[in-house]
Amino acid sequence: MKSLIVANWKCNPATLKDGQGIFREIKGKMGLVKSEVVICPPFVYLPVIGKGLVLGAQDAFWEKAGAYTGEISPAMLRDMGCRYVIVGHSERRRVFRETDEMANKKVRAALAEKINPILCIDRLSQLKAGIKGLNSKDLKSLIVAFEPLSAIGTGRPYPAGKAQKMYWGIRKIIGKDARILYGGSVNSGNASSYVKEAGFQGLLVGGASLKPREFIGIIKEIS
Ligand code: PGA
């Protein structure tokens, strides 16, 4: 199976022009890369960021439409060509007080629109709560990202050996089908330890995904 590498741009960059520049550079350097690469820019850039790379969103609401000022639904994301959506990122949980229950609603809403949810967790209790009500077919479309809090945006990557233990804990709960990613201070120097040594099926990359050369370095490292 191809590795999955997801770029989480977070609330960056500040202008569309810069975003298009990063997108173009990544696309231009992809060459014969075999991994599946997904770019998750801020919502407003989605329809105009560029063509030729798979797109994902960084969040989604759980209702399809209605009186929910400021929210974006999975149906809208699908209409904009998104195939993936990040759900329950630790920054959403911390800054916006999102709960496990909300993450679960978002996972189910994404699946209902045939968008692959990327459920972010840093402990197994979040995984169990996040997948409540999913059936075995749903689990085939689910992606779980293990993102240890201590490693996110800190430049302190989690030891691959410890991450591998968590990998097996997650695998035991979700079964054989769902893909499991590692995220947290990934760079071109440590990427292969998570994929080739610890056995993750891919990576969720934050800071390094805004630096095209570094991001391509990560992709090549694990391809
Ligand atoms: P980082 O972020 O790669 O900058 O640590 C990862 C993430 O938040 O998904």
- β-strand 54-57 against 143-146: which pairing, if any? unpaired
Residue 37 pLDDT level (bands cut at 50, 70, 90): very high
The rounded Å distance from CA 66 to ligand 1 centre is 32
Q: What value does the mean pLDDT take over residues 69-86?
A: 98
E strands present in 16-166: 36-40, 54-57, 82-87, 116-121, 143-146
The backbone torsions φ and ψ at residue 55, rounded to the nearest 5 degrees and listed phi first, read: -110, 150
User: What domains lie within the chain, and their CATH numbers?
Assistant: 4-222 (3.20.20.70)
The rounded Å distance from CA 107 to ligand 1 centre is 20
| Ligand 1 binding pocket includes 145 (Cβ within 6 Å) | no
Residue 35 pLDDT level (bands cut at 50, 70, 90): confident
Does 18 have pLDDT greater than 90? yes
The rounded Å distance from CA 202 to ligand 1 centre is 14
The pLDDT tens digits of the residues spanning 131-172 come to 999 999 999 999 999 999 999 999 999 999 999 999 999 999
Q: Read off the pTM.
A: 0.97
Q: What is the pLDDT of residue 95?
A: 98
The rounded Å distance from CA 61 to ligand 1 centre is 22
Distance of CA 150 to CAs 9, 122, 171, 184, 215, Å? 19, 9, 22, 8, 21
| Ligand 1 binding pocket includes 56 (Cβ within 6 Å) | no
Residue 223 pLDDT level (bands cut at 50, 70, 90): confident
Does 32 have pLDDT greater than 80? no
Q: What value does the mean pLDDT take over residues 201-211?
A: 98
Q: What value does the mean pLDDT take over residues 26-38?
A: 88
The backbone torsions φ and ψ at residue 50, rounded to the nearest 5 degrees and listed phi first, read: 150, 175
Q: What is the pLDDT of residue 124?
A: 98
| Ligand 1 binding pocket includes 122 (Cβ within 6 Å) | no
Q: What is the pLDDT of residue 147?
A: 98
Beta-carbon count within 10 A of 33 CB: 16
Give nearest CA residue, ligand 1 atom 2: 206
| Ligand 1 binding pocket includes 218 (Cβ within 6 Å) | no
Q: What value does the mean pLDDT take over residues 20-35?
A: 90
Give nearest CA residue, ligand 1 atom 3: 206
Does 1 have pLDDT greater than 80? no
Q: What value does the mean pLDDT take over residues 96-114?
A: 98
Q: What value does the mean pLDDT take over residues 97-115?
A: 98
Residue 48 pLDDT level (bands cut at 50, 70, 90): very high
Q: What is the pLDDT of residue 31?
A: 78
| Ligand 1 binding pocket includes 148 (Cβ within 6 Å) | no
